[in-house]
C-alpha cells in the first residue's frame, strides 16, 4: 500500500475516532499529534479540504488528490466502526436542531477557511520552513471551530469527519443526505477560498 495513503488513513482514523468519542478538544489534540507524526511522509492532511488546497497549490496531482480523499474517507468509515463497537452508538455528525442548512454550510465554510488558511500559512511559505509550531497551530484551529460553531454546524471542518462515519451507516445514508451535502459543500468551499487567499497574501514569497 502507498505509504502516504496509509499515513492519511491512520491520521484520519484517529482524528475522527477522537471526535466521535471525545469531542472537539480530543479531535484537536489527535490532529496535532497526527500532523507531527505524519507530515514528513504525506503532508499530514487528514482532511479533503486541506488536500484540495494542496491540489490548488500544485503540491498534489489530481490522481494523488483522489487517493488522499479515498484514504481519508476510509479512515472515517473505520472510525465510525470503532465508535459503534466501543460505545454501542453510531457517530452521526450533523447540524444542531433548528439550524438551517445554509447557516450550517456558512459556519463550516468560515471555520474550515481558518483551518486551511492556517495550514497554508504555517506549512508552505519558505520563511516558515522547518518551524516546529505548525502542528499545534493547526490543532488549535479545531479548538476554535468547536467552541465557535460546534453548537451550530457540528464543527466537522473536514469532509472525512462529517461524511466518513455516515458512510459506515450506509444502510441509512438516505436519512443523512442533508448532512452529507453540508459536509461536502461547506469544508471544500472554505478550503478552496483559503488556498486562493493564501496565494494572494503570500505573493512572491508563496511556497
Whole-number Å distance between alpha carbons of 186 and 190 = 6
CA distances in angstroms from 163 to 92, 103, 131, 133, 187, listed in the order given: 9, 18, 32, 29, 11
* CATH of segment(s) 3-205: 1.20.1080.10
pTM greater than 0.85 (yes/no): yes
Alpha helices in the chain (DSSP H): 3-22, 24-42, 48-56, 62-87, 101-123, 134-149, 159-168, 177-202
**56-106 residue pLDDT tens:** 999 999 999 999 999 999 999 999 999 999 999 999 999 999 999 999 999
Residues whose CB falls within 8 Å of the CB of residue 22, separated by 6 or more in sequence, listed in order: none
Burial zone of 172 (CB within 10 Å; 0-12 exposed, 13-18 middle, 19+ buried) = exposed
Whether 18 and 37 have beta carbons less than 8 Å apart is answered as no
**145-188 residue pLDDT tens:** 999 999 999 999 999 999 999 999 998 998 899 999 999 999 99
Amino acid at each position: 500500500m502507498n505509504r502516504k495513503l496509509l499515513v492519511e488513513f491512520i491520521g484520519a482514523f484517529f482524528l475522527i475516532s477522537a471526535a466521535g468519542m471525545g469531542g472537539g478538544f480530543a479531535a484537536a489534540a489527535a490532529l496535532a499529534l497526527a500532523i507531527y507524526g505524519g507530515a514528513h511522509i504525506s503532508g499530514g492532511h487528514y482532511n479533503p479540504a486541506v488536500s484540495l488546497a494542496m491540489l490548488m497549490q500544485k503540491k498534489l496531482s489530481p490522481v494523488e488528490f483522489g487517493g488522499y480523499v479515498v484514504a481519508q474517507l476510509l479512515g472515517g468509515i473505520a472510525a465510525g466502526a470503532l465508535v459503534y463497537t466501543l460505545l454501542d452508538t453510531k457517530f452521526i455528525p450533523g447540524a444542531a436542531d433548528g439550524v438551517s442548512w445554509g447557516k450550517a454550510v456558512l459556519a463550516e465554510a468560515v471555520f474550515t477557511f481558518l483551518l486551511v488558511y492556517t495550514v497554508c500559512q504555517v506549512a508552505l511559505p519558505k520563511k516558515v520552513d522547518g518551524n516546529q509550531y505548525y502542528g499545534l497551530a493547526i490543532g488549535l484551529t479545531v479548538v476554535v471551530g468547536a467552541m465557535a460553531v460546534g453548537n451550530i454546524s457540528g464543527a466537522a471542518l473536514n469532509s472525512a469527519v462529517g461524511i466518513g462515519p455516515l458512510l459506515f451507516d450506509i444502510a441509512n445514508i438516505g436519512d443523512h443526505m442533508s448532512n452529507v451535502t453540508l459536509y461536502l459543500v461547506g469544508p471544500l468551499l472554505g478550503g478552496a477560498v483559503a488556498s486562493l487567499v493564501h496565494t494572494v497574501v503570500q505573493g512572491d514569497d508563496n511556497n
